[in-house]
C-alpha cells in the first residue's frame, strides 16, 4: 500500500473512532483542532449531522483559521470562545505523544490557539497515526518543540532557552514567502531542538519557557490529554489513556 494512503487510512480510523465514541447527543460544544487528521474528524462530524441526522445542536469552536474553514465548508455550526467558553470535548491531532501522554504540537503553527481552546474543554482527545506514537519525545518528531514568540523577542528568547536547556532554537522560515512564518496571531515561531536522549521534566521545562518574557506559548501540552487514539499500519487501533 502507498505510504500516504496507509497514513491517511490510519488517521481516518483514529479520527472516526474518536468522533463516534466521544461526540454524542449530550455533546453541545466541541472544540476542533488543527492539522491533517482533523480533516477526517470534521468529515465524520458532517456525515453524522447531514447523512445520519444526529448532533443537530452541536456547536463547533475552531482553534485556527484552518479549523474555522473546515467547519464552514462542511456547514457545521460555528462557535467561538466569547459565547462558548465551556467546551465539552476537544479533539485535536499531535506531532508526537510520549508514554506519559505529553504532547508536542505546533508543527502547523497553531499551538497557541489550540492550547487555549483545549484548556476550556472538560475532555481532550488526541487522534493520530502510528508515526506520532513514542516512548519518549524526540523519537519520532525531530523538528523540535514549537514556541510562539513576540517578533521583537525572538533573539533573546532563543538564547535564553539554549542557555537553560541546551539544544538549538531556530526561527521557522516560510517556504512561499520571504522571511519567517507568521502565526494566526501575528507572532513568530521558534523550533527548539532539545538535546536527544537527555532526561527532561517536561512540566518544569514548559513552565520555565513560558515565563521567559516574549514567549506567548509553547508546543508542549503537559497533563492536558485524557485519551489518545492511534491508527496503526495494520489497520488496528491503539488507545492510550491518562
**Catalytic choice (3, 16, 96, 114):** 114
H/E element holding 205? helix 202-210
Q: Angle between the 36-46 and 65-73 helix axes, to the nearest 10 degrees?
A: 30
* Cβ atoms within 10 Å, residue 191: 18
Q: Left, alpha or beta for 144 (phi > 0: left; psi -120 to 50: alpha)? A: left
Q: Is 206 helix (H, G, I), strand (E, B) or coil?
A: helix
Asked if residues 30 and 59 have their Cβ atoms less than 8 Å apart, the reply is yes
Task: Tell me if residue 114 is catalytic.
Answer: yes
Burial class (CB in 10 A: 0-12, 13-18, 19+), 196: exposed
Q: Which residues contact 54 (CB under 8 A, 6 or more apart)?
A: 25, 48
Asked if residues 191 and 218 have their Cβ atoms less than 8 Å apart, the reply is no
| Residues annotated as part of the active site | 114
Amino acid at each position: 500500500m502507498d505510504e500516504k494512503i496507509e497514513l491517511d487510512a490510519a488517521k481516518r480510523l483514529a479520527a472516526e473512532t474518536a468522533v463516534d465514541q466521544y461526540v454524542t447527543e449530550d455533546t453541545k460544544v466541541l472544540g476542533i483542532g488543527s492539522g491533517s487528521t482533523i480533516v477526517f474528524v470534521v468529515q465524520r462530524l458532517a456525515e453524522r449531522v447531514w447523512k445520519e441526522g444526529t448532533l443537530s445542536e452541536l456547536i463547533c469552536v475552531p482553534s485556527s483559521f484552518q479549523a474555522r474553514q473546515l467547519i464552514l465548508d462542511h456547514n457545521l455550526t460555528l462557535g467561538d470562545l466569547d459565547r462558548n467558553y465551556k467546551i465539552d470535548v476537544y479533539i485535536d491531532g499531535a506531532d508526537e505523544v510520549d508514554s506519559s501522554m505529553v504532547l508536542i504540537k505546533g508543527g502547523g503553527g497553531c499551538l497557541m490557539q489550540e492550547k487555549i481552546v483545549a484548556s476550556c474543554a472538560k475532555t481532550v482527545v488526541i487522534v493520530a497515526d502510528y508515526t506520532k506514537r513514542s516512548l519518549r519525545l524526540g523519537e519520532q518528531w525531530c523538528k523540535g518543540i514549537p514556541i510562539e514568540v513576540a517578533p521583537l523577542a525572538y533573539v533573546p528568547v532563543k538564547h535564553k532557552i539554549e542557555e537553560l536547556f541546551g539544544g538549538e532554537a531556530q526561527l521557522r522560515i516560510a517556504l512561499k514567502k520571504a522571511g519567517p512564518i507568521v502565526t494566526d496571531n501575528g507572532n513568530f515561531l521558534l523550533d527548539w531542538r532539545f538535546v536527544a536522549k537527555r532526561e527532561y521534566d517536561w512540566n518544569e521545562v514548559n513552565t520555565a519557557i513560558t515565563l521567559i518574557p516574549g514567549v506567548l506559548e509553547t508546543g508542549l501540552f503537559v497533563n492536558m490529554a485524557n485519551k489518545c487514539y492511534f491508527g496503526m499500519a495494520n489497520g488496528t487501533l491503539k488507545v492510550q489513556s491518562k
